[in-house]
Amino acid sequence: MSFEPELSRALSVGAVRVLVWSDVLDRINVFPVADGDTGTNLALTLSILRNEIADTAAVNEALLLAARGNSGNIAARFLSGMLQEASNGLAEAARAGRDLAWKAVSKPVQGTMLDVFDALNSSLDAHGQEPGWIDRAVLDMEAAVLRTRERLSELRLANVVDAGALGMFMFLDGVLKATDRRDDFHPIMEPFGAYLNVSGPKNTAVACSVCIDAVIEVETNGETKDDDSGWRGLGPDTVTFRQDRYRKVHFHADNPDEAMAELRSRGTVIRWKTDDMSKQVEIASEHALHGPVHVMTDAAGSLTREDAVRSGITLLDSYVIIDGTAVPETRVDPFELYAAMREGRKVSTTQASVQERHQHFEKALAMYDRVVYLCVGSAYTGNFDVAMEWKTANDTQDRFVVIDSTAASGRLALIALATARRAVTEHSQEHLAAFAKKAREACEEYIFLDTLRFLAAGGRLSKTSAFLGDALRLKPVVSPLADGAKKVATARNRGEQVNIAFDRMDRCVLDGKDAIILLEHTDNREWIENELKQRVMARYHSAEILVMPMSVTSGAHMGPGTWAVALCRVPPSGDGMP
pLDDT digits (tens, 9 = 90+) for 325-353: 889 999 999 999 999 999 999 999 999 99
Which pLDDT score, from 0 to 100, does residue 251 have? 86
Residue 285's pLDDT band, with cuts at 50, 70 and 90, is low
* DSSP 8-state symbol, 86: G
Pick the residue with more confidence: 508 or 74?
74
Please compute the mean of the pLDDT values over residues 514-527 and round it to a whole number: 95
- 291 in the Ramachandran plot: left (φ > 0), alpha (ψ -120 to 50) or beta? beta
Considering the chain, what is the average pLDDT of its residues?
87
- Are 14 and 178 spatial neighbours (Cβ–Cβ below 8 Å)? yes
Whether residue 241 has pLDDT greater than 90 = no
Burial class (CB in 10 A: 0-12, 13-18, 19+), 312: middle
How far is Cα 351 from Cα 385, in angstroms, rounded to an integer?
A: 13
Please compute the mean of the pLDDT values over residues 183-206 and round it to a whole number: 83
How far is Cα 124 from Cα 383, in angstroms, rounded to an integer?
A: 40
Report the greatest alpha carbon distance in the chain: 77
- Domain topology for 287-439: Rossmann fold (3.40.50)
Pick the residue with more confidence: 255 or 358?
358
Please compute the mean of the pLDDT values over residues 124-132 and round it to a whole number: 89
Q: Above pLDDT 90, what percent of the chain?
A: 60
- For the chain, which residues make up each domain, given as ranges? 5-195, 210-281, 287-439, 443-569
* DSSP 8-state symbol, 528: I
Residue 511's pLDDT band, with cuts at 50, 70 and 90, is low
Q: Cβ neighbours of residue 502 under 8 Å, at least 6 residues apart?
A: 535, 539
Residue 461's pLDDT band, with cuts at 50, 70 and 90, is very low
Whether residue 162 has pLDDT greater than 90 = yes
Which pLDDT score, from 0 to 100, does residue 55 have? 77
Three-state SS annotation for 388-414: HHHHHHHCCCCCEEEEECCCCHHHHHH
C-alpha to C-alpha distances, 343 to 157, 310, 474, 560, nearest whole angstrom: 49, 35, 22, 11
pLDDT digits (tens, 9 = 90+) for 86-107: 888 899 999 999 999 999 888 8
Pick the residue with more confidence: 27 or 237?
27
Whether residue 578 has pLDDT greater than 60 = no
Q: Which CATH number fits domain 210-281: 2.40.128, 1.25.40, 3.30.70, 3.40.1000?
A: 3.30.70
Q: Is the preceding omega at residue 187 within 30 degrees of 0, hence cis?
A: no
* DSSP 8-state symbol, 531: I
Is 5-195's fold the same as 287-439's? no
Which pLDDT score, from 0 to 100, does residue 454 have? 66
How far is Cα 15 from Cα 327, in angstroms, rounded to an integer?
A: 12
The CB density around residue 192, as the number of other CB atoms within 10 Å, is 20
pLDDT digits (tens, 9 = 90+) for 463-500: 444 344 444 467 889 898 888 878 889 999 999 999 99
Residue 207's pLDDT band, with cuts at 50, 70 and 90, is low
Q: Cβ neighbours of residue 303 under 8 Å, at least 6 residues apart?
A: 297, 311, 313, 315, 413, 416, 417, 548, 551
- Which CATH superfamily groups domain 5-195? DhaL domain (1.25.40.340)
| Short-list 246, 355, 348, 325, CA closest to 45 | 325
pLDDT digits (tens, 9 = 90+) for 433-458: 999 999 999 999 999 998 876 664 54
| Strand pairing category for 475-481 and 293-298 | unpaired
pLDDT digits (tens, 9 = 90+) for 521-559: 999 999 999 999 999 999 998 899 999 999 999 999 989
Residue by residue, DSSP assigns 196-227 as SS--S------SSSEEEEEEEEE--TT--TT-
Which pLDDT score, from 0 to 100, does residue 570 have? 81
| Short-list 253, 237, 222, 191, CA closest to 70 | 237
- Domain topology for 443-569: Hypothetical Protein Tm841; Chain: A;domain 3 (3.30.1180)
How far is Cα 409 from Cα 522, in angstroms, rounded to an integer?
A: 12
Residue by residue, DSSP assigns 15-68 as HHHHHHHHHHHHHT--SS---S-HHHHHHHHHGGGGS---BHHHHHHHHHHH--
* DSSP 8-state symbol, 152: -
Q: Which of 153-167, 196-210, 241-255, 475-489 has the lowest mean pLDDT?
A: 196-210
Statement: the pTM of the whole predicted model exceeds 0.75: yes
